[in-house]
Chain A
Amino acid sequence: MKIIIKNIAIEYSDEGEGPVILFLHGWKDNLHSFDSLVPILSQQCKIIRIDLPGFGNSELPQTTWNLDNYVQFVKDFIDKLNIQVDALIGHSFGGRIAIKAVALNIIKPKKLILIASAGIAKTRTIRNCFFYIFAKAGKMITLFPPFIFWRKQLRKKLYNIAKSDYFLSGKLKNTFLNVIKEDLTSFANKIIIPTLLIWGDQDKTIPLEEGRSLSKLICNSKLEIIINTEHFVHQENPQKVAEIIQKFIL
């Protein structure tokens, strides 16, 4: 189903009846990320999922966006649908949007669920400092032959090793840079609504340590760890995740 928000055609789905749950997917993902949860949750809830602008079957934003644009977009979407969101669920990048939207009171759900959420900037970690220095040095070295011929490939390789989505972001590369540079630590601190954090203990993209930090920052929060799962914990163990969500919401 499509809807027009600020002249962007947006794909969304609306299933089930009951308390409204709005799902926000991660980077390079789409609304189908939550396919395994929907059959379970839609029995008692109204599940609304969107393809965020630039992802899935939604159109690309005309300009380079930042996190605030995505927050405002979700707010506009909710207003246009004229719904009251009972629970807002964000996975990874979707979690980022949810944290800022709720902290600034732009979106006012009764409960918040963050699944392997991004948001705490990793710029200060030793690993990132290493990649930063390596990238800068590489940039200089590859200005000269013969390295200049391999510049593009070497750069791509480095981003792959760093597990960065930058190269895979296509037309959203600059938007990606805008989004990841924001540290949401101070925003997470402001969240007061009941919040559930769900994390996979094997998550390598956003390690469990960040989940623990986020949990400490959000005063009214609870961290649920699903063992033997990674970043897509809701796809790896949908039954367990749906069960935890149901228990938290209903």
Chain B
Amino acid sequence: MKKNIAVIFGGQSVEHDVSIITAHIPIIQSLLASGQFNVQPIYISKDGSWYSDQAMNNLNFFKQTNFIGANGICPKQKKIQILFDQGLKLVWPGFRPKVVKIDVVFPAMHGTFGEDGSLMGLLRMANVPFIGCDLFASTIAMDKVLTKQILSKENIPVVPYIWFTKFDWETNKNTLKEKALKLKWPVFIKPVHLGSSIAITKVKQQSDLENMIEVALHYDDKILIEESIENLIEVTLPIIGNDILQTGEIERPLNKTEFFNFNDKYLSGGKKYGGMKNRYSEIPANIKNELAEQVKSLGLKSYRVLGCSGISRVDFLINNDSQNVFVNEINTLPGSLYCHNWRKAGISNVELVVKLVALAEERFKARQKITYIFDSDVLNFTTIQVHEHNA
């Protein structure tokens, strides 16, 4: 019997549209192609409403100009409800409500309210297996500063940086500017919680610093400023697995701009694979063997340190002058699962999604064995104490 798998995408995030692409290419397409699943697409609109319709299994549904109204809701769709009842159930309300029990969930939401652990928390509460990293790894990886702090504690090299919040900036502007000026310039300014390189700027002149900080703080309340490596080799390594890990190929993005930005990632070309061009990147990256070994070793270590499971991608910055390798960030939901990379590593799109489902179920089973509750008489004891106190 086919399993009911819910693919959740969209959401209240600046990466809402990218999430729709990831959900369809390759996730829904491959799940359907495997013939093992009934795919239940769940689209979360920009206003946070949940919708589900089989028509949403087709990416073209979201290309219709009128699928979303001015207020962010789908005017032609009925909102669904979710029910936590011995697992996760979807409910289409009505005179005779339709209820579908979900066996596995495939989160395909980038950024806030999805990839940041919010959705994973909900799915843990619902007690349903789900693909990809769990709550804790997702939350930490979504915060670039927390990631750097944890990695450095484990002696994993990261590029020198400073960080601050909007409140810090508003109350202590001059001190923070001085701190930023002490870094080796040029510098990058990054919102801490956003992915897809949104609102990341490279600042070359000190006169631009304040404006660029304001831009980053417009999108996030916590930002970081880090040194830029000028003679840079940027590489990335996708990894899958829970306890036994498997690496993909080391990939080098062929960025046309000064850094690998949103346009390079998603808008740089044809329709195939969400706009990615064929020469989007070099796979495997043409780097020295010693560097490749270091990248793989640091990648696996970072994956474990952050407690990743299912799938993640570790991004690296290599200083071509000093040959130093730095871990830049960890992405717990790589765009389109980096299926192009896995294909080069010999894993087809269908094999990849089926493997990820198996990993999700494996983790879920392991979690079922953990004791979360135990009997206690603390309540009775508290009652006695209260009586005594009242007396």
Contacts and interface: CB of A to CB of B under 8 A. Distances in A.
A3 B215 contact: yes
A160 B312 CA distance: 51
A169 to B, nearest CB: 12
B21 to A, nearest CB: 19
Nearest to B211: A3
Nearest to A8: B218
A1 B219 CA distance: 15
Interface in B210-229: 211, 214-215, 218-219
B190 to A, nearest CB: 13
Interface in A65-96: 80
B70 A4 contact: no
Contacts of A4: 211, 214-215, 218
Interface string A1-44: 11110010100000000000000000000000000000000000
Interface string B185-225: 00000000000000101000000000100110011000000
A9 B211 CA distance: 11
Contacts of B214: 3-4
A216 interface: no
A194 B211 CA distance: 33
A9 B218 contact: yes
A77 to B, nearest CB: 11
Nearest to B207: A82
Majority secondary structure, A binding face: mixed
A2 B201 contact: yes
Nearest to A2: B215
Contacts, number: 19
A181 interface: no
- Interface size on B, as a range, is under 10
Given A2-B215, A9-B215, A170 B70 contact: yes
The 4 A-B pairs at the shortest CB distance, nearest first, are namely A4-B214, A2-B215, A4-B218, A9-B218
A16 to B, nearest CB: 16
A4 B213 CA distance: 10
Interface in A140-186: 170-171
Interface of A: 1-4, 7, 9, 80, 170-171
Nearest to B210: A80
Nearest to B215: A2
Contacts of B218: 2, 4, 7, 9
Contacts of B199: 2
Contacts of A9: 215, 218-219
A219 B355 CA distance: 76
Nearest to B214: A4
Contacts of A7: 218
B211 A80 contact: yes
19 contacts: A1-B201, A2-B199, A2-B201, A2-B215, A2-B218, A3-B211, A3-B214, A3-B215, A4-B211, A4-B214, A4-B215, A4-B218, A7-B218, A9-B215, A9-B218, A9-B219, A80-B211, A170-B70, A171-B70
Nearest to A80: B211
Given A1-B201, A7-B218, 7 more contacts: A2-B201, A2-B215, A2-B218, A3-B215, A4-B214, A9-B219, A80-B211
A6 to B, nearest CB: 11
A79 to B, nearest CB: 12
A3 B219 CA distance: 12
A171 B218 CA distance: 22
A4 B212 CA distance: 9
Contacts of B211: 3-4, 80
A170 B214 CA distance: 28
Contacts of A3: 211, 214-215
Contacts of A80: 211
Interface in B129-175: none
A4 B208 CA distance: 12
B160 to A, nearest CB: 25
Interface string B77-119: 0000000000000000000000000000000000000000000
Nearest to B199: A2
Nearest to A4: B214
Interface in B47-90: 70
A9 to B, nearest CB: 5
A80 B70 CA distance: 32
Nearest to B70: A171
Contacts of A2: 199, 201, 215, 218
**Highest count of chain A CB atoms <10 Å: which of B199, B201, B214:** B214
A157 to B, nearest CB: 18
Contacts of A1: 201
A12 to B, nearest CB: 11
Contacts of B219: 9
A170 B71 CA distance: 12
A129 B218 CA distance: 46
A103 to B, nearest CB: 29
A59 to B, nearest CB: 9
Contacts of B70: 170-171
A138 to B, nearest CB: 24
B71 to A, nearest CB: 10
A170 B66 CA distance: 12
A161 to B, nearest CB: 22
A33 B372 CA distance: 62
B53 to A, nearest CB: 25
Contacts of A170: 70
Kindly name the residue among A1, A2, A80 whose own CB sees the greatest number of chain B CB atoms within 10 A: A2
